[in-house]
Amino acid sequence: MDLALTDVQEAVRDTARRAARELLAPEAARNDAEERFPDQTLRALARLGLMGINVPGEFGGAEAGAVAYAVAVRELAQGCAGTTVALMVTNMVAETIARFGSEAQKRRYLPSICGGEWPAASFCLSEPGAGSDASALTTTATRDGDHYILNGTKAWITSGGHAGLYLIMARTEPGRSSKGISTFLVEAGTPGLTATRPEDKLGLRASHTTQIVLEDCRVPVENRLGDEGIGFRVAMTALDGGRIGVSAQALGIATAALNTAARYATERRQFGAPIASTQAVQWMLADSATELEAGRLMCLRAASLKEKGQPHSREAAMSKVFCTEAANEICHRAVQIHGGYGYTREYPVERHLRDVRVTRIYEGTSEVQRIVIAREILKQWQ
């Protein structure tokens, strides 16, 4: 149950719930096993209004807000976490353009993203040598008349090779740390932009993750997103919202795992009774349900602050570290409740365990979240 949702938020949640059940869940196991990128499913989600949930309606978005986005992601992740992460990153790119883009950029790109003309969009910040320390990125953007020339390599790029648009952070002023970074919108097919083969990942195997190699990639000046030098602020703003999305994704994966484990516990019999009758299993279920409820409230709080335009960096970080670590433990318990069967592909809990693990890493590791939280706490004493 979601407390105090508006009619619009409930409608988005219900649409996502149906999509998870009818579109995502039936193909989740096959997509995972075959590493199939769900391009047609993503286009179908766009037609349902789920690819621009927090984007103004005049640009093709649903204009439903950050809370609606969080509840939609939680529902979708119960169906297929790999498909959901592609949707999450696409929504993040669309929101970033809506916030920082020019009128021309919004009208050029947002309808294509929100309407499903492109199956996905990609957010390109990390590099092989710049992960948690994103300000250390070395990709360069050199001004050449009415173009910039981009050179460098981006890493861990969701939907690389499938996206219609790449939002890329590059250094326009050498030696200025985070203040010398700018943001660019680069369309798929632009000469000099190449996606490598997908990484062979533990989980989220329906989501293709690649490197993006930029070799003398010429980008028009009008494709710079915002002023020169604000790229790091653009990235951090996007990641605050992205952490809310990852919280919701983790909750969705863990909810699916808990539901499967609870059902299995009522069916599996040992020592003449369902294993659900044992205190050990009951306590695992009880702890998992309690953690899910706490995480849900933390995620909605952070989303509500974002929706109101209030500071939410600390709350987003708190939500992410709590929800993702709790979700990992819940998925571990689900496998344990299944016993040996949980270690096989006969039941989906092994996939949930593999899928949830990365939520403690991407959009800022749990360790980085704790740094963010501590920094916010200490501000009042400094």
Question: Based on the structure, what is the number of domains in the chain?
Answer: 3
Separation between Cα atoms, residue 197 and residue 176, nearest integer Å? 33
pLDDT (0 to 100) of residue 382: 83
**Residue 199 belongs to what domain range?**
123-231
What would the DSSP string read from start to end of 290-317? HHHHHHHHHHHHHHHHHHTT---HHHHH
pLDDT (0 to 100) of residue 160: 98
Q: Is residue 274 domain-shared with residue 353, that is, in the same domain?
A: yes
Options 75, 95, 315, 363, the catalytic residue: 363
Q: Is residue 237 domain-shared with residue 374, that is, in the same domain?
A: yes
Separation between Cα atoms, residue 285 and residue 305, nearest integer Å? 31
pLDDT (0 to 100) of residue 177: 79
pLDDT (0 to 100) of residue 1: 53
Q: Is residue 291 domain-shared with residue 217, that is, in the same domain?
A: no
Report CA Rg, the chain. Answer: 21
pLDDT (0 to 100) of residue 2: 64
Q: What is the pLDDT of residues 11-27, one digit of tens each?
A: 999 999 999 999 999 99
The values of phi and psi at residue 217, to 5°, are -85, 115
**Is 2 a domain residue?**
no
Separation between Cα atoms, residue 305 and residue 313, nearest integer Å? 10
pLDDT (0 to 100) of residue 3: 67
Per-residue pLDDT of the chain (382 residues; tens, 9 = 90+): 566 899 999 999 999 999 999 999 999 999 999 999 999 999 999 999 999 999 999 999 999 999 999 999 999 999 999 999 999 999 999 999 999 999 999 999 999 999 999 999 999 999 999 999 999 999 999 999 999 999 999 999 999 999 999 999 999 998 777 889 999 999 999 999 999 999 999 999 999 999 999 999 999 999 999 999 999 999 999 999 999 999 999 999 999 999 999 999 999 999 999 999 999 999 999 999 999 999 999 999 999 999 999 999 999 999 999 999 999 999 999 999 999 999 999 999 999 999 999 999 999 999 999 999 999 999 989 8
CB 53 within 8 A of CB 61: yes
Give the pTM. Answer: 0.96
**Is 366 a domain residue?**
yes
CB 229 within 8 A of CB 250: no
Separation between Cα atoms, residue 190 and residue 231, nearest integer Å? 21
CB 198 within 8 A of CB 188: no
- Decide if 363 is catalytic: yes
Residue at which a domain ends, from 92, 120, 148: 120
CATH number at residue 57: 1.10.540.10
Q: Is residue 344 domain-shared with residue 288, that is, in the same domain?
A: yes
pLDDT (0 to 100) of residue 298: 98
